[in-house]
Amino acid sequence: MREAELYKKEKNKVRCLACSHKCLISKDKTGICGVRKNIDGKLFLLVYGKVASMNVDPIEKKPLYHFLPRTTSFSIGTVGCNFKCDFCQNYDISQVSKQGIIFGKEIKPEEIVEKAIKNRCKSISYTYNEPAIFIEFVKDTAILAKKRGLKNVLVTNGFFSKESFDYISNYVDAMNIDLKSFSEDFYRKYCGGRLKSVLETIKRAHEKGIHIELTTLVIPGLNDSDKEFEKIARFIASISDSIPWHISRFFPMYRMLNKPITPIESMNRAYKIGKKYLKYVHLGNI
Ligand code: SF4
Ligand code: SF4
């Protein structure tokens, strides 16, 4: 646990600035993510130095196909998330903190960097859950990593606030950002977030010169219409037609066990539409 940096005091409460929810948190309460807590008028990051998941992964698994290909990335995540996606593949770590459960292996930023180097990784990925919620831990690790010649990768839902993006962006080399849908309704109903903030993060990251790739999980009946694929592909192309788009196949998960696996036909339709506008379209999980 460590005092957070991205917050401000408002009367006897604290306003967290780490993501676009900007939770106003009363004494002894946590924000939506469950990992940032008001203790005696100061905001603390409960998962600082507490890693719930740690692996050496191929960078392609992030997925990043156009950044340090055929290398491995030392990958870490904590518990907690600022979203509550009904289709979350990592719900066992991302949602537990909302019930007050915090766990993880105690590890310092310098130990993470040492492990990454020892395992011959070329980068560190902050992934599995949402890195914006443990942004101070990300930053301390990323600064050390950069000094040792490692790259830093964020795998994110993109719901950064401007403050948190500015706080971390100088240390970030690549991002995979989920673009889960092109509908505000979808974000509100199935994730508990807002599309607008995600689109802003994508634009900011591109403007900052960070390598970005985007991922859409295609869920039957929810975001698999031609119209939606067109909207996503056109939006990406309006920023740059060189941004890779990963189209990922859905498998029943968490609160969406009643949905079928994405038909290959839908994946191919998305691919065709993507290729009308974009140079790099990749199908995943097929
Ligand atoms: S990271 Fe986001 S969800 Fe968590 S407390 Fe801060 S503003 Fe709220
Ligand atoms: S943003 Fe990612 S980690 Fe968080 S709930 Fe959604 S799918 Fe899970």
Do the Cβ atoms of 151 and 123 come closer than 8 Å?
A: yes
Name which residue sits closest to atom 7 of ligand 1, judged by CA.
22
Question: In this predicted model, what pLDDT tens digit does every residue of 78-106 receive, in sequence order?
Answer: 999 999 999 999 999 999 999 999 999 99
Considering the segment(s) 50-284 as one domain, its CATH architecture is Alpha-Beta Barrel (3.20)
Q: Tell whether the model's pLDDT for residue 145 goes beyond 90.
A: yes
Please tell me the predicted confidence (pLDDT) of residue 165: 98
Using one digit for the tens of pLDDT, what is the confidence trace for 22-60? 999 999 999 999 999 999 999 999 999 999 999 999 999
For ligand 1, the distance from its centroid to the CA atom of residue 3, given in whole angstroms, is: 14
Ligand 1 neighbour 33 (Cβ under 6 A): yes
Residue 85 in contact with ligand 2 by CB distance below 6 A: yes
Task: Tell whether the model's pLDDT for residue 12 goes beyond 90.
Answer: no
Contact between residue 37 and residue 25 where contact means Cβ atoms under 8 Å apart: yes
Domain residue spans of the chain: 2-45, 50-284
Q: Dihedral of CA 171/176/181/186: which sign?
A: negative
Categorize the per-residue pLDDT at 108 as very low, low, confident or very high, splitting at 50, 70 and 90: very high
| DSSP state, residue 11 | T
The DSSP bridge partners found for residue 45 are: 2, 36
For a pocket test of ligand 2, which of 130, 181, 255 has the largest count of ligand atoms closer than 8 A to its C-beta? Answer: 130
What string of DSSP letters covers 84-128? --TT-TTHHHHSGGGGT----EE--HHHHHHHHHHTT-SEEEE-S
Segment 188-200 mean pLDDT: 98
Return the pLDDT at 200. 98
| Per-residue pLDDT tens over the stretch 200-217 | 999 999 999 999 999 999
Nearest bound ligand to CA 130?
2
